[in-house]
Amino acid sequence: MGASPCRQGRRSRRPRPASTPRTTSTARRPSARRAAPAGTPAGGTDPRFENGPLAVVDVEDGQVLAYCTGGLVLDVPAKSLPSLVDWTLKEAKLGQPKLSGPGKDADPLLVLTEATLERYGLPVALPEEERLAGRIPEGHKVIKQLVRADWKLTKRGFGPWARIYRPAAGSERACVQLCIPSWHALDSRHWGEAGQLLPAELARLLGVYASRVMTPRGSTAVTGLELMTALHPPTRASEPDADGKRHSEHNPGSLGKDPVDCAPCEAPDGHPLLKDLPRFHVRGPAEKLFEEAYDWARPMTDAECTLRHLVGIDVNMAFAAGANGLIVGLGAPTHVKAPVFDPKLPGSWLVDLSHVDLSRVKVGKDKWADLDASLLPSPFTP
């Protein structure tokens, strides 16, 4: 991924090898699958999802193409967005098996390029008002097409990560998720330069992510929450009752199905929890979490520049190490005054550490070292 050149706007396509045939949506033969680059995840063993979890949909020479994760390219016959959704669910064989027993299969993901947006009547870029709203207007012609075809949108509407669905009939889900990079779905803060990749390269990158994490559902943070839900669904089937029937019950260890408020100190400015504060009140360290910078770095000192060799220490990996043993709080917060500190109890603790000497570090049993505190990250400087 790092070696791929980043180009802006519409790019010329790299020619496909003439000796490699392209299979159509109605005749997907194993012999027609292209040779995939090393490291490309293959489609799942589940025959329902034999073409992988996602596809990047593009238009080339007037033909709509779906680039799948295993190097396969499908011809897409759909003439409108509703028919594209139908084709995805009935013919494309895209999706991902569930990650746990009581969970659900992952919905197929379609990434729409700028050319595809133009083909299906969607704006290539959102005007400022729609960008701030995070969706196109409900009166847009494409949304009207979906409504006429009995498709529905979630409450978030048609935005960069839109979900198009029909109410489930029994255990059968009918839902497709869209990802629209030109609407800033692949924000560079989360996805780097993924939004600038060519369709086949983007399909490979997102496919690797899907194989190692799960099918993307938004930012990496949103996908992380979805992963927790997929591994520990909020409900499970109960033991049979006296009549032999099972019922839905809370799944211990899950995030639950009902949202809970965060602690007031964890709420960002403008959160409804803070509605009773004075209008121009500025919260201080005792009222608001000021997160320590996770990407801390500093320039080399003059003395360090004169040395032939230096040892670099990646202090930022402390966040990854801490996440390995992180205990996640699942219930609503409880405010306790002057509690005894318990490192195993998740929560936001207000502790006075002003007496700590950051230049003196314990390096062993009864052994201390004096350091220059200005050269190391400080928990008191966000």
Q: List average pLDDT for each run of 10 residues in the chain, which is 382 residues long.
A: 38 40 40 40 69 96 94 95 96 91 89 97 93 92 96 94 88 90 92 93 96 92 89 88 88 84 89 90 88 79 92 80 82 90 89 86 89 81 60
Q: Do the domain assignments include residue 187?
A: yes
Instruction: Output phi, psi for 63, to 5 deg.
Output: -105, 130
166 found inside a domain: yes
What is the reported pLDDT for 323? 80
pLDDT at 45 (0 to 100): 67
Instruction: Give the chain's domain count.
Output: 1
Determine phi and psi for 58, rounding to 5 degrees: -135, 165
Asked whether residue 333 is domain-assigned, the answer is no
Chain Cα centroid distance, residue 268: 21
Q: CA 207: distance to chain centroid?
A: 13
Collapsing DSSP states into helix, strand and coil, what is residue 199? helix
DSSP-derived pairing of the beta strands 152-153 and 163-169: antiparallel
DSSP string, 38-78: TTPPPPPSSGGGTT-SEEEEEEETTEEEEEETTS-EEE---
Alpha-carbon span 223 to 217, nearest angstrom: 5
Residue 6: DSSP 8-state: P
**Which structural domain range is residue 73 located in?**
23-236
Let me know if residue 173 belongs to a domain: yes
Q: What is residue 15's DSSP assignment?
A: P
Question: Domain for residue 170, yes or no?
Answer: yes
Residue 296 lies in a domain: no
Whether residue 13 lies inside any domain: the answer is: no
What end-to-end distance do the CA atoms of the chain give, in Å? Answer: 31
Phi, psi of 87 (to 5 degrees): -60, -40
Q: Within a domain: residue 210?
A: yes
Torsion of Cα atoms, 89 then 222 then 206 then 4, to 10°? 150
Residue 208 CB coordination number (10 Å): 15
For residue 117, the model assigns a pLDDT of 97
Cα separation, 347 vs 266, whole angstroms: 10
Query: Residue 172: what pLDDT?
Result: 76
